[in-house]
Structure 1
Amino acid sequence: MTDNGETSTVARADRVKVWDPAVRIFHWSLVTAFAVAYFIVESNRTIHEWAGYVALGLVAFRLIWGVIGSRHARFSDFVPGPAKLANYVRQMIRGQEPRYLGHNPAAAIMILLLLIAVGVIGVSGWLMTTDWGWGSKTIEEIHEISVNVTLIAIGLHVAAAIYESFHHRENLIRSMMTGYKRRY
Structure 2
Amino acid sequence: MPKLAKTDRSFSAPVDAQPSPEMVRVWDWVVRSFHWALALSFAFAWFTPHSSEGIHRWAGYAAAALVTMRLLWGVLGTPYARFSQFVRDPATVLRYLSAMLSGREARYIGHNPAGGAMVLVLIAAMGSTALTGWLMTTDAYFGVPWIEAAHSLTAHGLLLLVFFHISGVALASFRHRENLVQAMITGQKRKAEPQDVA
TM-score grouping bracket, smaller chain normalisation: over 0.9
Q: What is the CA–CA distance in structure 2 between the aligned matches of 1:133 and 1:111, rounded to whole Å?
A: 29
CA deviation after TM superposition for structure 1 residue 89, in Å: 1.7
- In terms of fraction of residues, the more helix-rich structure is 1
Q: Percent identity?
A: 45
- Runs of 4+ in structure 1 over 4 Å off: none
Q: Deviations over 1:125-164 (max 9, x none)?
A: 0000000110011000110000111001000100111111
3-state SS of the aligned residue for 1:76? Answer: helix
**Number of matched residues?**
175
1:81-120 to structure 2, matched below 5 A, reads 81-120=89-128
Counterpart CA distance in 1 for 2:60 and 2:36 is 15
Residue 87 of structure 1 and its aligned partner are, at CA, apart by 1.9
TM-score (norm 2): 0.86
Unaligned stretches of 5+ residues in structure 2: 1-17, 193-198
Scaled by the length of structure 1, what TM-score is found?
Answer: 0.93
**For structure 1, which runs of at least 5 residues remain unmatched after alignment?**
1-8
SS in 2 for 1:99: coil
Q: Residue 154 of structure 1 aligns with which residue? A: 162
Q: Distance in 2 between matches of 1:131 and 1:46?
A: 18
1:27 aligns with 2:35: yes
1:80 corresponds to which letter in structure 2?
A: R
Within a 5 Å distance, the mapping from 1:8-27 to structure 2 comes to 12-27=20-35
Mapped partners of 1:180, 1:66: distance in 2 = 19
In the aligned structure 1, how far is the partner of 2:63 from the partner of 2:44? 10
Deviations for 1:78-133, whole angstroms, at most 9, x for unmatched residues?
00112321221221121100000000000111111100000000000000000011
Q: 1:20-76: per-residue Cα shift (whole Å, max 9, x none)?
A: 000000000000000001101111101100000000000000000000000110000
For 1:83, give the aligned amino acid: A
Higher relative contact order (CA 8 A, sep 6+): 2
- Correspondence 1:62-73 to 2 at 5 A: 62-73=70-81
